[in-house]
Chain A
């Protein structure tokens, strides 16, 4: 009887222990002062535990020197609120997120975006989820002249310059520096957020743009099927001298692998093999025979830069239609048709797209087009689209 009781006690203890085994700790975070928490809760859905904006890149990207940009957490949290705040526009109807929507990789589904008072922009919104993310090479603040600038015409050196130029663009948000400061000052929820980020409640344009830059710099797309497979093959340590990305990825379908091979042969010299740093900072891809939009040339005034535009990475490309700087192509099929048979003889046409003085004709077969599109779909990072810490915090 005694033995049975002891056995029962032991069994009960074991059961109790096993029941507790797989539950994660229930930690409660009190990130803000209680009165600040109450104030913020009136307007915002911010977690009581601060979001972690630290990015850990896959090994295959770290191995080629990629690294996440340093991001200050409290500034990124403030930046998130600013990014989604429509008060930062003249008519109170436009925020950064209006043209950079998370569900489509922080892009816009219109050929050219519309700004305040329904004013029509001139270029397609660049998907923020298409740049990994400014991590290794974007920004002249870290990389000097070799850093890749921002905008289709590369006119801003840093993410701060970029967002300030957008807020003050008459077509986009149409604010001046004074307007921005007043708009932020008028909202009570910014007081605790600035205190957390900067130690005091002083609101300046520089702080506003720096905070948004911290948030934008934290938006990282690096968890696509392509990234997962690339890391997997990289970890298998392929033979020296054989680029691992050239091998078939075991988790890819046959069509995806064929599309990858085509991509590496025909597209990667500009758009990069691992979606890291584009092979070129700017290029003309023969959309038109003449210059309809000067692009980089409009900034530098150089004849050789006329019609040149930023070369984007293709991360999340399946989500970011319409395509090109003017959003002229509605589908990936149209884009591939352009490169297959539609390249025009612009004077500054990229050398990769020329054969002598004539535009190159890739003449992809229907099968090749379909394979390329299958591959491009592997560049979608679904997690980025659902990541709470990048979502709209307003109630």
Chain B
């Protein structure tokens, strides 16, 4: 048993050295029902071997049109470890929302984001890749008393624009292979889906998220399949309307 545990932790520690070049950020489902409804969320996001934080803001420009802005920053390892990775993405979206029933709303947003992912080996830069992500997201969110449930789906097109690679620094050859495979691909088109559960009451909710990306041969490119997150959301509609 002790040996099995030791093996598990060794495998886990070794696994923590994997380099990731993409991970799905949270598919936020803004609960917008009328003009000037707005929300801001701040939270944490985690994958198998990385963690980070996210900021999300959305705003109903009119009774039908909304904007959304997301920022995510992820990392693994520490500045003292042999290997360290960090990634960030900022994106904006514009689209329509449509409230229905007493406590539900759905939306269709299209957006574009800029991101980069960097990996360091022995404290030196090994690679820094820049990407764009275009997306269209449909989401349905409903509130049942203190519970808020969101079901989003996103069609994403991920495109690496360029990057800087220092092969001599990359101590793990498989990381270089992943980069070379990414370089060969003109882009990646895939679906992402999520589920969010929130608890609270106006103006504050606490939410938990699961996000999943269906990318073919994801492991070959160093793409993470899924992330989980938790956030605190502040509903600003009342304030803005007054």
Contacts and interface: CB of A to CB of B under 8 A. Distances in A.
A25 B163 contact: yes
Contacts of B163: 25-28
A17 B157 contact: yes
User: Could you say which of B112, B159, B182 has the most chain A C-beta atoms within 10 Å of its C-beta?
Assistant: B159
B167 A50 contact: yes
Nearest to A195: B168
A230 to B, nearest CB: 25
A67 interface: no
B160 interface: yes
Interface stretch (B1-9, B143-151, B183-191, B204-212): B183-191
B207 to A, nearest CB: 29
Interface in A25-55: 25-33, 49-50, 52
B165 A21 contact: no
Contacts of B129: 25, 27
B67 to A, nearest CB: 12
A19 to B, nearest CB: 11
A24 B110 contact: no
A13 interface: yes
Interface string B164-198: 11111000000000011011111100000000000
Contact of A26 (B157, B161, B182): B161
Contacts of B53: none
B28 interface: no
A69 B120 CA distance: 31
Nearest to A29: B165
Contacts of B184: 24
A9 interface: yes
A195 to B, nearest CB: 9
A186 interface: no
A36 to B, nearest CB: 9
Contacts of B162: 25-28
Interface string A1-30: 000001001100100110011111111111
Interface residues of A, number: 24
Contact of A27 (B157, B159, B183, B186): B183
A262 interface: no
Given A9-B94, A20-B159, A21-B159, A31 B186 contact: no
Contacts of B179: 27
Interface residues of B, number: 26
B168 A32 contact: yes
A49 B165 contact: yes
B168 A28 contact: no
A196 interface: yes
B134 interface: yes
A7 to B, nearest CB: 12
B180 A25 contact: no
Interface in A78-110: none
A17 B135 CA distance: 10
B83 interface: no
B186 A24 contact: yes
B150 to A, nearest CB: 24
B161 A33 contact: no
Interface in B60-111: 65, 94, 110
A49 B132 CA distance: 23
A196 B169 CA distance: 11
A6 B110 CA distance: 12
A40 B186 CA distance: 31
A200 B138 CA distance: 57
Contacts of A32: 168
25 contacts: A10-B110, A13-B110, A13-B134, A17-B157, A20-B187, A21-B157, A21-B159, A21-B186, A23-B186, A24-B185, A25-B159, A25-B161, A25-B162, A26-B162, A26-B163, A27-B164, A27-B179, A28-B164, A30-B164, A30-B165, A30-B168, A31-B168, A32-B168, A49-B165, A52-B180
Interface of B: 65, 94, 110, 112, 129, 132, 134, 157, 159-168, 179-180, 182-187
